[in-house]
Amino acid sequence: MMTGAEILVECLKKENVDVIFGYPGGVLLGIYDTLFDTDIRHILPRHEQGGIHAADGYARATGKVGVCMATSGPGATNLVTGITNAYLDSVPLVVFTGQVPTSLIGGDAFQEADIIGITRPIVKHSYLIKDIKELAPSIKEAFHIARTGRPGPVVIDLPKDVVAAKTKFKYPEKVELLGYNPNYEGHPMQIKKLLKALESAKKPVVYMGGGVRISGATKELVEFVEKINLPVISSFMGLGGFPGDHPNFIGWLGMHGNYASNMAMTETDFIIAIGTRFSDRSTGRLDGFAPNAKIAHIDIDPASISKNVVIDIPIVGDCKVVLDQMSKYLGDYNWDRRAKERESWLKQIKAWDSEHPFSYKRSNRVIKPQFVVEKIYEVTKGDAIICTEVGQNQMWAGQFYKFKDHRQFISSGGLGTMGFGFPAAIGAKIGRPEKEVFDIAGDGSFLMNVQEICTAVQYRVGVKVAILNNKFLGMIRQWQSLFYNNRYSYSCLECQPDFLKLAESYGCPAFRAEKPEDVEPILREAMKIKDLPVLMDFVVDREENVFPMVPAGAALNEMILGD
């Protein structure tokens, strides 16, 4: 006979869980007492939100399921932002929450919160365990649901009496869930329709999203693209799914994407969309999006098909599997027929890129934030895992770092969560200790989970934090400048801590650069420190803007290009 706490730990071992990001509380003490004697590594963040973002970063960097735990009431509700963040970005998490005893549920007991009800719209599935016999089967199902199909978070709520109860431990060998059978293979007839339409297209593009990265379909996509010589445009969340230095890679589209991608998407006559949800930040005004294009859409989530954009050729399936299927039919079509037109189309797109590449006015006097990102790219040789906060720092990271690997770029795309990047970087570094991991941060975002410096120091996590410090909520200020007559209403962060002293108070090495010539030496010095976090405070041009910019409500080709 085993207690619920012991069963939980055995289940985690069966699922090969090697690290948990968790915060203890009264109803979880039985679990924590059991964890004390296991080999499973436990990371104690300084806030539950930091813990779940770390589990999220760990999952994205490793491809494993991230595991997070928090106690009942406020501990559980502090996870809600992180659960939503993972849900929108399709990140596999299993989240354990403590609950009051079953006899007290519904009675407004101390630290009772209906976390199942609160999170129902933002999880892939959830369980409230009322009988210890349900525990092991539910955990088995939770990991299966989190990692299969379109990945996502699953919550398991654990009442205190269930954790203490006893029963025999039996872990199911397989999962059978009525009505849950993700479709991995695309329908052959639909695939042939896509290839027939592509054969006739004069100006085709491949538009790839985060689904390509999640399914690990880079190799298959590169082979497909090279055989037909197609231009590849990424969504922001797709960055890294196709090599950023490949000659067929055009860039990323949307609000702060590059000119060539936005123009190509406006002029194309056929789109092969792979693993993307056509978010509003990517499409711009919908009635101006790809007005002359037929659209084929490959996605494992049938609910994503025609959700935001009407699709002509839907294909439900896993990106990697469907691309592999497509390659088997390529010999049945005449790709020479439109080869010259496709080549001419690719030259046109490259010409657009030459006219308006990502660029900025360089300065010898003040540090430009784009310059910092360029230098990070240089000193890391383009091989680091880059996490970002949210705002201008996030966009500059996407513009000036060329991502080559599908697990190299970690950013909050769907929810746009300030405070995400630093704890996510901690999780990524714990999962991939052999890699350099940077958090490219804004001062406003970084301050939202700054307490996690303590976590990184305690566990000697050698993550690098590069703050692009402009003493503003930079993206808010940019919008106020462009659309609200420079009325900077409550976006100034003039009062902020001395980041060097703050870091040093935690035992974290820290540097500051105020001149362009100091940037690279500080980055190289930071790279020498391997077993502690390093904070770098780059004092950048306060009123630098991110361009190009597609204003809200505008079409993709209605960009503001800047100076």
CB-based contact 55:67 (threshold 8 Å): yes
Backbone torsions φ then ψ of 155, nearest 5 degrees: -105, 135
Q: How confident is the model at residue 562 (pLDDT cuts 50, 70, 90)?
A: confident
Q: Does residue 180 have a pLDDT over 80?
A: yes
520 given a catalytic annotation: no
Two tokens at 216?
């690990």
Which residues does residue 299 pair with via DSSP β-bridges, in sequence order? 316
Q: Of the listed 255, 263, 395, 475, which one is catalytic?
A: 475
Range 104-121 average pLDDT: 95
Range 372-399 average pLDDT: 97
Name the superfamily (CATH) of residues 2-165. Thiamin diphosphate (ThDP)-binding fold, Pyr/PP domains (3.40.50.970)
Q: Does residue 563 have a pLDDT over 80?
A: no
CA atoms within 13 A on the CB side of 548: 26
371 given a catalytic annotation: no
Closest to 155 (Cα-Cα) out of 105, 119, 130: 119
48 given a catalytic annotation: yes
- Answer whether 2-165 and 188-355 agree in fold: yes
**pLDDT tens track for 425-474:** 999 999 999 999 999 999 999 999 999 999 999 999 999 999 999 999 99
Q: Of the listed 6, 48, 389, 452, which one is catalytic?
A: 48
For CA atoms 132, 133, 134, 137, give the dihedral sign.
positive
CB-based contact 75:110 (threshold 8 Å): no
Torsion of CA 70, 73, 75, 80, to 10 degrees: 90
Q: Which residues, 6+ apart, have CB-to-CB distance to 230 below 8 Å?
A: 204, 205, 206, 224, 248, 272, 342
Per-domain boundaries in the chain: 2-165, 188-355, 369-539
Q: Could you give the C-alpha distances from 97 to 46, 52, 83, 423, in angstroms and in order?
A: 17, 12, 12, 19
**pLDDT tens track for 88-99:** 999 999 999 999
What does the pLDDT read at residue 333?
Answer: 96
Q: Of the listed 124, 160, 368, 429, which one is catalytic?
A: 160
494 given a catalytic annotation: no
**pLDDT tens track for 40-67:** 999 999 999 999 999 999 999 999 999 9
Range 508-534 average pLDDT: 98
CB-based contact 419:471 (threshold 8 Å): no
Q: Of the listed 111, 348, 451, 458, which one is catalytic?
A: 111
Q: Which segments of 163-230 are extended strands (E)? A: 166-167, 204-208
Q: Does residue 323 have a pLDDT over 80?
A: yes
395 given a catalytic annotation: no
Q: Which segments of 285-348 are extended strands (E)? A: 294-299, 313-316
CA atoms within 13 A on the CB side of 398: 30
Q: What is the DSSP string of 49-86?
A: HHHHHHHHHHHHHHSSPEEEEE-STHHHHTTHHHHHHH
Q: Which CATH number is associated with domain 369-539?
A: 3.40.50.970
**pLDDT tens track for 336-368:** 999 999 999 999 999 999 999 999 999 999 999
Neighbours of 288 (CB within 10 A): 16
Q: What one-letter code names the amino acid at 22? A: G
Q: Tell me: domain 188-355, CATH 3.40.50.1220, correct?
A: yes
- Cα(391)–Cα(379) distance, integer angstroms: 24
Neighbours of 111 (CB within 10 A): 16
Q: Which residues, 6+ apart, have CB-to-CB distance to 1 below 8 Å?
A: 166, 167, 168
Q: Which residues, 6+ apart, have CB-to-CB distance to 527 below 8 Å?
A: 379, 380, 436, 464
Mean pLDDT of the chain: 97
- Cα(59)–Cα(286) distance, integer angstroms: 33
For residue 22, give the DSSP letter. Answer: E
Closest to 5 (Cα-Cα) out of 160, 224, 171: 160
Q: Which residues, 6+ apart, have CB-to-CB distance to 490 below 8 Å?
A: none
Q: What is the pTM of this model?
A: 0.96
